[in-house]
A and B are shown apart, each in its own frame.
Chain A
Amino acid sequence: MANTPTPVRKARRSLIALAAIFLVLMGAIQIGVSFFGASWTPKLALDLEGGTEIRLAPVVQGADQVTSEQLNQAVSIIRDRVDAAGVSEAEIRTEGSNNIVVSIPGQPSEETLQRIEASAKLDFRPVLLAGVPSTSSTGTPTPAPTESTEATPAPSPTDASDLTQVTPELQTAFDNFDCASVDETVVPDPNKPFLTCETNGSAKYLLGPVELSGENLSNATAGQETTQNGAATGSWAVNLQFNQQGTEQFAAITSRLTGLQAPRNQFAMVLDNRVLLAPTSQVVITDGRAAITGGSITQDTAKTLADQLKYGALPVSFAVQSNESISATLGSEQLANGLLAGLIGLILVVVYSLIQYRALGLVTVASLVIAGGLTYLIVTLLGWRLDFRLSLAGVAGLIIAIGVTADSFIVYFERIKDELRDGRGLSGAVEAGWKRALRTILASDAINFLAAFILILLAVGNVRGFAVTLGLTTIIDLIVVALFTHPVLQLLSRTRFFGEGHPASGLDPRALGAVYRGRAQFREPVAIAKRNSGSKTEAQKRQTIAERKAAEARGTATATLERPTTTDQSAATPTTKSAKPTQARGKKGTRS
């Protein structure tokens, strides 16, 4: 063929690029599967997998808004609680700007639900007894001998640190206390001693009554510890800042605790019934500013602690807004039916394309298969990296995408046909059609992507899952049409079957009414330079045929006078009544 090899080379390059994309995606997933516990199948949302989805909305005072920081902190608090409840594979995420969604496989117990709903509460309690928890209750290093302390002082406790509160029952309970029995959901009496453990289970405590409530803590920050002359010591501290009431209360606590015997000189900060930290009071703090320092506080723990203290103290509680649960049977049934719907839809589209576009329909089918493969890989990858879960709405989005993706091919094929009708050779028509089609495809896909993008940003719940798949498939559509459909057509246009316009190829110029000039020979492909000469000349060139036809349609056709056109001049001499023949003969060729 007389064509330059450039399109072929370009086509090969595009196909290689597509193969590279596939390999990279598969490689990434393989790495995930081998080393990071990823899976070769997409993650499914609860409506397909079965499980419970609980949606929590913050209960705020008046027109207050919940900040995203608060929300994220709440998520981590709830995550801790759910993990503590022993629920595996729970997923907790924020949704929109307000809500928290907790997804749990199976049906959660009533207890788990309460645990999730309970609002975080931060309290300060003095330490009465501290010990190392162990199954055998040996080695509680610093318990004060109960009997002696109880015998001497007054029967009613003089202050919150008074050991008279430790009754023999409590002592026994403390000795045998197991950290596993801490329950975050019960609300302990703030005026009574309370048994609990450190969050990491490294120590157990018997605590006095609540002396300071978290609401009075106005801020907690992490920072470098400084010496008196302001130089950083390099060690980290959690800085506390109390409000006025808190300042007074904290001054009272520290003045009492400082100088007491360990462990009674410690005060415990209790969040969700567990002790975050029980620092020793070393000085009396009267200005409401305290710094917690010590060996165990590093940059990371300081930050976490500060956040926990700060947000754990916030009066944001959550109410369950919806609680949807889907049984595993129903989930798999929905998935099976969703896939069935997709299969039926795909088959229908394939059949229609084959009827409508003949062999060209096979290109559609192959392109859809490629698009399907890419979608599968990307959804799988997103499931692993971003925890994207495919919901039923998402599956619907994918099925609908079959139509949108196929439409790109339709736009492209129709453009090629238009070019063929104008008398280009197939290779030229493929190139020219592509240029025009790409513009349209880009514009229309941009609209689709815009819709998806805005929905991803703004929408919640199911709508979002759907929008993600819609946006994803729009991008995949572009990749496939540019890196697969077009290059394949470039290559196919050089085969005899397509190049010579076999009737079954779907690109038979005769069937398309192109000017026929003898066996397997059509008008010379229009030179590339001419193709670039702008849409104005294109419009004019087209118009000439169309106008001629329009004139025929208006009835002047009875005795047609073929107006000579720029491109048709070389056609069989358009003298008088036989002027239409080129066209007619061409059409007859296919009809027979």
Chain B
Amino acid sequence: MSGFSQFGNDLYTGVRSIDFIARRKLWFAISAVAIVLSIVLPLARGGFAFGIEFTGGSEFQLSQVDTSDQAKAEDAVTAVAPEAAPRVTVIGGDGLRVQTDQLDGDQSTAVRNSLAEAYGVPANDVAESFVGPSWGGEITNQAIRALLIFLALAFVFMALYFRTWKMSIAAMVSLIHDLIITAGIYGAVGFEVTPAAVIGFLTILGYSLYDTVVVFDKIRENTSGSESSSGRTFAESVNLAVNQTLVRSINTAVVAVLPVASILFVGSVLLGAGTLRDISLALFIGTLLGTYSTIFVAAPLYSMLREREPRIKAESARALDLRQKSTVAQSASMGGAE
């Protein structure tokens, strides 16, 4: 433990420094590859796997069944509704989920009774749902509208708070980076996209920006003085801020991921497919990505955007110049002492 806290001290004082900013070409290249893969792989797989909330269909959930024999369910469905194309999933230890194409009222009741009979559970324990094809689309449309408005407002808020729109740009780019890659992972692996997963995506927005704001606040603090007087170039100031907040970033990521991981675990192992798993899966990926992108995308990008400003360029040059002289002076005096 003292190792970690020592690590924190060293990062804070600058004894140890990780070159997040200087090696930005490498990070950008990694992200670019990830983004390309996130677009290409889902396309190669044939697009996203949408849940029935998007495609429309009927769903039956059985709980506390004695056997999780899936063939039984398929037979029970096709016996009364031959066209239904049942997809059976085991949920938790003793539950089953049967999804079919959309059935009408009578068929639906028939399937429900048939399933109840096949597994020997009371018909009341078979939950029956159906979703029209427009429902998931409506959720998503609303979500996308909310997303755009949020991005616009967050952009303005950050520009006002940090007094520079370049921080807003950097934060937005890293946010979009997170969203694309999370969606890419979903598409590439074939995780089902459900409204719960959409909720997860939306939360990533909040988290990704939240994390970026914390680090940017430190950057703002470190770069608010003039560069020449601090003796650091702009990029070095930014890098120091990222290093100084690195312990926080790690701690926060761990603390944020722990509950998400526990939902993911409980959701997928104990409950199986469902709301909890879908939300937490998106969040799990998104939280890790959000932390990564703040450090490896947002901060280097911000530094890149600002470094080229003439004033900052001049200050950074002066800082380098001063340092050169002082190093010379130091080595001279060292030489004398030795």
The answer, yes or no, to whether B74 is at the interface (CB within 8 Å) is: no
Q: Is the CB of A410 within 8 A of B9?
A: no
Inter-chain CA distance A319–B334, complex, in Å, is 86
Residue pair A454, B146 in contact (C-beta under 8 Å)? yes
Residue in B203, B211, B274 whose CB lies within 8 Å of A470? B203
Binary interface profile of A, 305-337, with partner B (CB < 8 Å = 1, else 0)? 000000000000001111111110110011001
Complex CA–CA separation, A268 to B224 (angstroms): 78
Cβ contacts B136-149/A at 8 Å (1 or 0 each): 00110011011001
Chain A residues closer than 8 Å to B8, beta-carbon distance: 414, 417
* 26 residue pairs bridging A and B, Cβ less than 8 Å apart: A57-B132, A322-B53, A323-B129, A325-B128, A326-B61, A333-B63, A337-B92, A341-B263, A341-B266, A342-B259, A345-B260, A349-B259, A403-B252, A404-B207, A414-B245, A444-B213, A450-B154, A457-B146, A459-B143, A463-B139, A513-B6, A513-B12, A539-B224, A553-B14, A556-B330, A587-B6
**Measured CA separation A443–B162 after assembly (Å):** 10
Which residues on B sit within 8 Å (CB–CB) of A64?
none
- Restricting to B80-127, which residues have a CB under 8 Å from any CB of A? 92, 95, 105, 109, 124-127
Contact assessment for A576 and B337 in the assembled complex, using a CB-CB cutoff below 8 Å: yes
B240 at the interface (CB under 8 A from A): yes
Which B residues from 245 to 298 make CB contacts under 8 A with A? 245, 247-248, 251-252, 254-263, 265-267, 270-271, 274-276, 279-280, 283, 287
| Interface residues on chain A, size class | 35 or more
Task: Please name all residues of chain B whose beta carbon is closer than 8 Å to the beta carbon of A110 when the two chains form the complex.
Answer: 105, 109
CA distance A334 to B63 in the complex (A): 11
A451 touches B202 (CB 8 A): yes
If A403-B256, A414-B247, A547-B14 touch, does A341 touch B132 (CB 8 Å cutoff)? Answer: no
Question: In the complex, which residues of chain B have a beta carbon less than 8 angstroms from the beta carbon of A319?
Answer: 132
B2: chain A residues within 8 A (beta carbon): 511, 590-591
The residues of B with any CB-CB pair to A shorter than 8 Å are 1-2, 4-6, 8-10, 12-17, 53, 59, 61, 63-64, 92, 95, 105, 109, 124-132, 134-135, 138-139, 142-143, 145-146, 149-150, 153-154, 157-158, 161, 195-196, 198-199, 202-203, 205-207, 209-211, 213-214, 217-218, 221-222, 224-225, 229-232, 240, 244-245, 247-248, 251-252, 254-263, 265-267, 270-271, 274-276, 279-280, 283, 287, 327, 330-331, 333-334, 337-338
A96, A324, A348, A400: residue with the most chain B Cβ atoms closer than 10 Å: A400
Residue of B nearest to A451 (CB): B206
A512 adjacent to chain B (CB < 8 Å): yes
Measured CA separation A377–B149 after assembly (Å): 31
What is the bound-complex CA distance between A128 and B109, given in angstroms?
A: 42
Given A330-B95, A459-B146, A561-B333, A513 and B157 contact (CB-CB distance below 8 Å): no
Given contacts A356-B251, A418-B244, 12 further A-B contacts (CB under 8 A): A57-B132, A327-B61, A329-B64, A341-B267, A400-B259, A400-B260, A417-B12, A447-B209, A451-B154, A540-B225, A559-B334, A591-B2
A462 to B278, CA, bound (A): 13
| B9 adjacent to A443 (CB under 8 Å) | no
Is the beta-carbon distance between B274 and A458 smaller than 8 angstroms? Answer: no
A393 close to B (CB within 8 Å): yes
| Chain A residues, Cβ within 8 Å of B231 | 543, 547
Q: Contacts A396-B263, A536-B224, A539-B221; is A421 near B12 (CB within 8 Å)?
A: yes
Asked if A327 and B1 make an inter-chain contact with CB atoms under 8 angstroms apart, the answer reads: no
Q: How many Å from the CB of A501 to the closest CB on chain B?
A: 13
> Which residues 433-484 in A have Cβ within 8 Å of B in the complex?
436, 439-440, 443-448, 450-452, 454-455, 457-463, 466-467, 470
Q: Is the CB of A447 within 8 A of B139?
A: no
Interchain CB contact under 8 A, A410 and B125: no
> Is residue A520 within 8 Å, beta carbon to beta carbon, of the partner chain?
no
Residues of B contacting A486 in the complex (Cβ-Cβ under 8 angstroms): none
Q: Are A337 and B283 in contact, with the CB atoms below 8 A?
A: no
Chain B CB within 8 A of A118 CB: no
**CB atoms of A447 and B210 under 8 A apart:** yes
Contact B125 A549 (CB under 8 A): no
Interchain CB contact under 8 A, A322 and B135? yes
Q: Is A538 an interface position by the 8 A CB rule?
A: yes
B251 to chain A: closest residue by CB: A410
From B135, B230, B327, contact of A556 by CB (8 A): B327
Residues of A within 8 A of B276 (CB): 334, 337-338, 341, 392, 396
Chain B neighbourhood of A342, CB < 8 A: 259, 262-263
Q: What are the 7 closest A-B residue pairs judged by CB atoms, nearest first?
A: A345-B259, A403-B256, A451-B206, A341-B266, A324-B129, A345-B262, A344-B262
Q: Is A550 an interface residue (CB 8 A)?
A: yes
Name A320's closest neighbour in chain B (CB-CB).
B132
Picked from A322, A345, A443, A457, the residue with its CB within 8 Å of the CB of B258 is A345
